[in-house]
Amino acid sequence: MLSLNLPAFDTKIAVRDGKNVIFDVIRRRYVALTPEEWVRQHFVHFLLVHKGYPQALMANEVQVQLNGTKKRCDTVLYRRDLTARMIVEYKAPEIEITQKVFDQITRYNMVLKVDYLVVSNGLQHYCCHIDYEHNSYTFLQDIPEYQNL
């Protein structure tokens, strides 16, 4: 798989029914190894190991109900009271991060109302903090450490 702009880690890859799968530490099972999943596993590892995010407060493939349709957020970070705090949306490395991607994650946020939105294709990462009081948002230089959220 492609080298990403994220720290390498010891991935657990296997072959099941003739297809490559990768172990998802959040879901605690093997899942299909797609380019987007490759990005997700690297980014989750980055958040857990390098940014101090607690695994117990993270979930992958979180379903939300939006305008009568079911959508899935790639990763959601929760507060200790289990309200959503951050949504992370992943794209395959060859997918450019565009306004359309931000529109997608913003639609998910209409339901979850989180403080942080993160988008990554494994090569570029964007994080913005939502200020609901002033109805604005600010792009951050880096993905914040968990203790600084």
- pLDDT (tens place) for every residue of the chain, 149 residues total: 789 999 999 999 999 999 999 999 999 999 999 999 999 999 999 999 999 999 999 999 999 998 899 999 999 999 999 999 999 999 999 999 999 999 999 999 999 999 999 999 999 999 999 999 999 999 999 999 999 99
Number of domains the chain is built from? 1
pTM comes to 0.95
CATH at 90: 3.90.1570.30
Residue 84 bridge partners (DSSP): 78
For residue 111, is it within any domain?
A: yes
Domain span at 110: 43-148
For residue 144, is it within any domain?
A: yes
For residue 105, is it within any domain?
A: yes
For residue 97, is it within any domain?
A: yes
**What pLDDT is attached to residue 131?**
95
For residue 12, is it within any domain?
A: no
For residue 1, is it within any domain?
A: no
For residue 65, is it within any domain?
A: yes
Total Cβ atoms within 10 A of residue 24: 17
**What pLDDT is attached to residue 2?**
82
For residue 68, is it within any domain?
A: yes
